């Protein structure tokens, strides 16, 4: 069976649940007292998709301001970006829109964008309407799901949808696994790290 | 931006090379006790040191660029022979006991104060566990807030709050304003405020432009030690931002709210303050090694050494806050402060437990202007064994990650994993192993290697506050031994609850706690026996053969 490596990065405000989504996907576990990610964290998981094996190389980035400038290092060469917001916090949705803008300007041209409205188990304190987010996602042709890492809702579905959207190997060699090597991407601007 | 490892910095020792200075070797060649000259004491590395040589504790507290100007008290006094023979020591002790009555009274008083201190409610610690809210806010107008034993505040020169150990920075902005006013008021007179002593409190100021650090403490620490802790906090902030970036920010905008950039790092700073109250590493300015059979450690070190990459500068294996192995690039030395900051970073966050972390980190004592990139991962999920690979290249993640894989593979092939697991099961040794009945606890530091060893703290220091009291006693002995105006080499104190001894030479520092029933003669005999034991066990307790790539 053919093995494809897919580089995926998670972006979004601090505390929206990026790491929790990754943990649920990779380890199928959840820690309510998870500490904020420092820098970025790398994990992999291989899943079968149709007649291929998809090895997800997942870069879980830190949402804090001081790591902001590191993000290009991770979305460069990514096949997909999952941008996460917290449905109980309006401002995390505005941050998400900024990430979309940045990806459109500086990200790889064919990057698959997925929008995940996390913490959908906290429906009673919801601040972002599902319809608003869905409309926005449609307007930018992004995948949209509401997820709950805590209750394992839509986490696997999110990654399956990414597998589905990624162009197959023969039509787009650019996203075929080799792209994950950070070195291959010439850095355009000399950014400082933070 | 990779840290420039070749850049010469002020931490270089004054002899102009990066090699740790060999102390006072030449001056001391006629020392009557060559067996204890620096570099030959128990725990001294056989092939040079791993760390930047810190000549003395005073090195740590001196302003970093004026390091050369500050000389250790031994040097300053041009003191001749070192007393090492046991006869000499006992003679010294009898002299000391008459000389130091004033000091002993003082200590007695301090100890009594400690007893009274016990009546106070134990400090309430509100942890900042939630990812979202950052911290649980504590009401700064409440008495409970005032009762904390040590407050730490960081503010910008514009008087803006940057960090407060307890309570929210916003609620404290007027308090911090007053602090800045005090600093400015004295600076207007071309003067500098260092501390205020009032009502059992010490208010200590450390000025490191563009930041001001203030501690309000009612611990028994000396002003110098509190300032030392504040410096650690300053270095902690630098390790997140670099000195260059910090200065750049405030040059651009004087009233910048630095909390924005430090968001999420409060727990790292909180953890550092807690660690400093419990772990003698910070007081000693040294690093503790995991007790490990020399053959196992050598196998681990050479596996680590072989799993190298071009961009790697340091490979560090640690367990808890103990060092298992450290391999460094030739001619590059780590400073104990930088290693302490790395230990703290790892112990402050559970986020390294899963996956492989890749994060920029500045090692301020090595080079405060740039970032290294650290690959941080635990070797096995259930095992407390964390591997830290420090690289100069932020794009080199996969190469460095492969080094980890190669290291683990070699470890497996050498078959030392089992022995390593065993060692991790007993990360501390019992003082009973030394075989001295009256001996309760000790700290022994080898100055040339920058390593120290210390047994597990056992009964009667079981309760948390008892442990802190013991560390407090060591802190007190340490501050006496390193008092800049009147340093002491030997201290013996008979107290109601324990007898204490401190012995500081050019080669080592030894702090010992005995049961209160022993005699001074017994204590001195015990020191002799203890030193022999440490010598016998040194290849297990220390890293004697540090490796380089």
- Closest-CA distance, B372 to chain A, in angstroms, reads 10
In a mutagenesis test of the B interface, which of A16, A39, A118 is the best target, namely the one with the most B β-carbons within 10 Å?
A39
Reduce the secondary structure of B264-303 to three states and give it as a string.
CCHHHHHHHHHHHHHCHHHHHCCEEECCCCHHHHHHHHHH
Q: In the predicted model, is pLDDT for residue A188 greater than 70?
A: no
Output the average pLDDT for chain A.
87
Asked if the Cβ–Cβ distance from B351 to A34 is below 8 Å, we say yes
Least confident range of A72-86, B124-138, B258-272, B282-296: B124-138
Give the model's pLDDT for residue A179: 42
Asked if the Cβ–Cβ distance from B359 to A23 is below 8 Å, we say no
Measured between beta carbons, which residues in chain A are less than 8 angstroms from residue B348?
35
In this prediction, residues A34-47 reach a mean pLDDT of 93
CA distance B511 to B491: 9
Give the model's pLDDT for residue B534: 94
Closest to A193 (Cβ–Cβ): which among B263, B345, B360? B360
Give the model's pLDDT for residue B36: 65
Task: Please tell me which residue of chain A has the smallest CA distance to B373.
Answer: A39
Q: In the predicted model, is pLDDT for residue A180 greater than 90?
A: no
Interface A-B, measured as beta-carbon pairs within 8 A, has a size of 102
pLDDT band of residue B111 (cuts 50, 70, 90) is very low
Give the model's pLDDT for residue A90: 94
Q: In the predicted model, is pLDDT for residue A38 greater than 90?
A: yes
Least confident range of A94-103, B74-83, B171-180, B230-239: B74-83
Q: In the predicted model, is pLDDT for residue A139 greater than 60?
A: yes
Asked if the Cβ–Cβ distance from A38 to B129 is below 8 Å, we say no
Q: In the predicted model, is pLDDT for residue B152 greater than 90?
A: yes
Asked if the Cβ–Cβ distance from B132 to A15 is below 8 Å, we say yes
Output the average pLDDT for chain B.
79
pLDDT band of residue A170 (cuts 50, 70, 90) is low
Q: Which residues of A touch B (CB under 8 A)?
A: 14-15, 19, 22-23, 26-27, 31, 33-43, 60, 62, 64-67, 70, 73, 181-183, 187, 190, 192-194
In this prediction, residues B329-355 reach a mean pLDDT of 91
- Closest-CA distance, B401 to chain A, in angstroms, reads 10
Measured between beta carbons, which residues in chain A are less than 8 angstroms from residue B162?
none
Asked if the Cβ–Cβ distance from A193 to B394 is below 8 Å, we say yes
Each residue's pLDDT tens digit, B431-453 = 999 999 889 999 999 998 999 99
Asked if the Cβ–Cβ distance from A40 to B357 is below 8 Å, we say yes
Q: In the predicted model, is pLDDT for residue B178 greater than 50?
A: yes
Burial (CB < 10 A; 0-12, 13-18, 19+), residue A122, is: middle
First to last CA, chain B: 23
Task: Please tell me which residue of chain B has the smallest CA distance to A191.
Answer: B1
Q: In the predicted model, is pLDDT for residue B331 greater than 50?
A: yes
CA distance B61 to B519: 36
Asked if the Cβ–Cβ distance from A182 to B398 is below 8 Å, we say yes
Measured between beta carbons, which residues in chain B are less than 8 angstroms from residue A187?
395
Give the model's pLDDT for residue B54: 53
pLDDT band of residue B79 (cuts 50, 70, 90) is very low
Asked if the Cβ–Cβ distance from B264 to A33 is below 8 Å, we say no
- Greater confidence (B224 vs B315) lies with B315
**What is the Cα A149 distance to its own chain's centre?**
14
Q: Crossing angle, helix A155-165 and helix A18-27, to 10 degrees?
A: 90
DSSP state of B334: B
- Closest-CA distance, B124 to chain A, in angstroms, reads 20
Give the model's pLDDT for residue B169: 83
- Closest-CA distance, B371 to chain A, in angstroms, reads 8
Measured between beta carbons, which residues in chain B are less than 8 angstroms from residue A14?
131, 263-264
Task: Please tell me which residue of chain A has the smallest CA distance to B350.
Answer: A35
Closest to B245 (Cβ–Cβ): which among A42, A64, A194? A194
Closest to A192 (Cβ–Cβ): which among B1, B265, B351? B1
CA distance B526 to B513: 11
Q: In the predicted model, is pLDDT for residue B115 greater than 50?
A: no
Measured between beta carbons, which residues in chain B are less than 8 angstroms from residue A73?
394-395
Calculate what percentage of chain B has a pLDDT beyond 90: 48
Cβ distance B420 to B296 under 8 Å? yes
Q: In the predicted model, is pLDDT for residue B101 greater than 50?
A: no
Each residue's pLDDT tens digit, B377-424 = 999 877 889 999 999 999 999 999 999 999 999 998 998 888 888 889
Structure-block tokens of residue A42: 């790398």
The contacts found for B249-254 with CB under 8 angstroms, 24 or more apart, are B250/B156, B250/B157, B250/B210, B254/B156, B254/B157, B254/B158
Rg (CA), chain A: 16
In a mutagenesis test of the A interface, which of B236, B239, B360 is the best target, namely the one with the most A β-carbons within 10 Å?
B360
- Greater confidence (B79 vs B194) lies with B194
Q: In the predicted model, is pLDDT for residue A172 greater than 50?
A: no
Give the model's pLDDT for residue B136: 56
In a mutagenesis test of the B interface, which of A26, A41, A67 is the best target, namely the one with the most B β-carbons within 10 Å?
A41
Give the model's pLDDT for residue B64: 45
Measured between beta carbons, which residues in chain B are less than 8 angstroms from residue A67?
359-360
Structure-block tokens of residue A98: 């900024």
> B371 has which bridge partners?
B2
Asked if the Cβ–Cβ distance from B264 to A41 is below 8 Å, we say no
Each residue's pLDDT tens digit, B441-495 = 999 999 989 999 999 999 889 998 899 889 989 998 998 898 888 888 999 998 8
In this prediction, residues B283-312 reach a mean pLDDT of 92
Where are the alpha helices (H) located in B100-172, listed in sequence order? 101-117, 143-146
CA distance B376 to B104: 47
Which structural domains are found in chain A, ordered by start? 1-163 (3.40.50.300)
Cβ distance B349 to B376 under 8 Å? no
Closest to B357 (Cβ–Cβ): which among A39, A181, A187? A39
Q: What is the ipTM of this complex?
A: 0.85
Give the model's pLDDT for residue A84: 96
Asked if the Cβ–Cβ distance from A70 to B360 is below 8 Å, we say yes
| Residue from B70, B96, B92 nearest B82 by CA | B92
Give the model's pLDDT for residue B320: 86
């Amino acid at each position: 069976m053919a093995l494809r490596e897919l580089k995926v990065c998670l972006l979004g405000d601090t505390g929206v649940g990026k790491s929790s989504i990754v943990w649920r996907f990779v380890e199928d576990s959840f820690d309510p007292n998870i500490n904020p990610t420092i820098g970025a964290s790398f994990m992999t998981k291989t899943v079968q998709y149709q007649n291929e094996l998809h090895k997800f190389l997942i870069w879980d980035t830190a949402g804090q301001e001081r790591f902001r400038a590191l993000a290009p290092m991770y979305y460069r060469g990514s096949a997909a970006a999952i941008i996460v917001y917290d449905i109980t916090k309006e401002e995390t949705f505005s941050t998400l829109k900024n990430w979309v803008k940045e990806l459109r300007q500086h990200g790889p041209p064919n990057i698959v964008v997925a929008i995940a409205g996390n913490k959908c188990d906290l429906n009673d304190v919801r601040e972002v309407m599902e319809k608003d987010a869905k409309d926005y996602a449609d307007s930018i042709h992004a995948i949209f799901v509401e997820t709950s890492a805590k209750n394992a809702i839509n986490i696997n579905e999110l990654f399956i949808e990414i597998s589905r959207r990624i162009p197959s190997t023969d039509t787009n060699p650019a996203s075929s696994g080799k792209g994950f090597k950070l070195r291959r991407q010439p850095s355009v601007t000399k950014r400082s790290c933070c | 931006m990779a840290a420039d490892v070749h850049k010469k910095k002020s931490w270089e020792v004054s002899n102009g090379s990066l090699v740790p200075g060999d102390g006072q070797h030449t001056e001391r060649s006629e020392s009557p006790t060559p067996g204890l000259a620096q570099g030959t004491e128990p725990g001294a590395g056989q092939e040079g040191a791993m760390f930047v040589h810190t000549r003395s504790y005073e090195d740590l507290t001196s302003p970093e660029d004026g390091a050369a100007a500050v000389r250790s008290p031994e040097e300053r006094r041009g003191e001749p022979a070192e007393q090492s023979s046991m006869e000499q020591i006992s003679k010294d002790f009898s002299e000391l006991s008459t000389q130091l009555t004033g000091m002993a009274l003082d200590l007695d008083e301090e100890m009594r104060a400690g007893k009274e201190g016990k009546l106070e409610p134990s400090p309430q610690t509100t942890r900042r566990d939630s990812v979202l809210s950052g911290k649980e806010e504590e009401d700064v107008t409440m008495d409970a807030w005032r009762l904390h034993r040590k407050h730490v505040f960081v503010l910008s020169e514009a008087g803006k709050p940057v960090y407060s150990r307890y309570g929210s920075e916003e609620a404290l902005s007027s308090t911090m304003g007053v602090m800045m006013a005090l600093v400015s008021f004295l600076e207007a007179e071309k003067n500098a405020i260092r501390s205020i002593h009032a009502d059992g409190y010490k208010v200590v100021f450390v000025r490191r432009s563009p930041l001001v650090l203030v501690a309000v403490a009612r611990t028994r620490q000396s002003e110098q030690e509190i300032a030392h802790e504040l410096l650690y906090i300053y270095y902690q902030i630098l390790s997140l931002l670099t000195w260059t970036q910090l200065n750049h920010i405030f040059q651009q905008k004087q009233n910048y709210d630095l909390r924005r950039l430090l968001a999420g790092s409060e727990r790292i700073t909180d953890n550092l303050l807690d660690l400093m109250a419990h772990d003698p590493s910070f007081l000693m300015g040294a690093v503790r090694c995991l007790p490990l059979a020399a053959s196992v450690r050598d196998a681990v070190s050479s596996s680590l050494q072989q799993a190298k990459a071009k961009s790697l500068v340091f490979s560090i294996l640690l367990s808890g806050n103990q060092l298992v192995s450290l391999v460094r690039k030739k001619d590059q030395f780590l400073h104990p402060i930088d290693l302490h900051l790395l230990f703290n970073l790892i112990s402050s966050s559970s986020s390294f437990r899963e996956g492989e972390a890749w994060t920029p980190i500045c090692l301020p004592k090595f080079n405060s202007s740039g970032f290294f990139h650290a690959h941080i991962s635990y070797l096995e999920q259930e095992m407390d064994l964390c591997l830290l690979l420090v690289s100069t290249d932020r794009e080199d993640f996969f190469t460095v990650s492969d080094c980890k894989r190669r290291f683990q593979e070699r470890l497996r092939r050498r078959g030392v994993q089992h022995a390593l697991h065993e060692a991790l099961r007993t990360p501390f040794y019992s003082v009973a192993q030394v075989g001295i009945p009256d001996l309760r606890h000790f700290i022994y530091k080898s100055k040339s290697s920058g390593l120290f060893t210390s047994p597990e703290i056992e009964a009667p220091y079981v309760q948390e506050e008892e442990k802190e009291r013991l560390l407090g006693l060591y802190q007190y002995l340490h501050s006496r031994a390193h008092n800049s105006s009147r340093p002491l080499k030997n201290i013996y104190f008979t107290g109601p609850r324990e007898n204490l001894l401190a012995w500081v030479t050019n080669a080592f520092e030894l702090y010992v706690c005995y049961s209160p029933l022993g005699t001074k003669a017994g204590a001195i005999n015990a020191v002799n026996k203890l030193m022999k034991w440490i010598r016998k066990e040194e290849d297990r307790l220390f890293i004697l053969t540090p490796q380089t790539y």
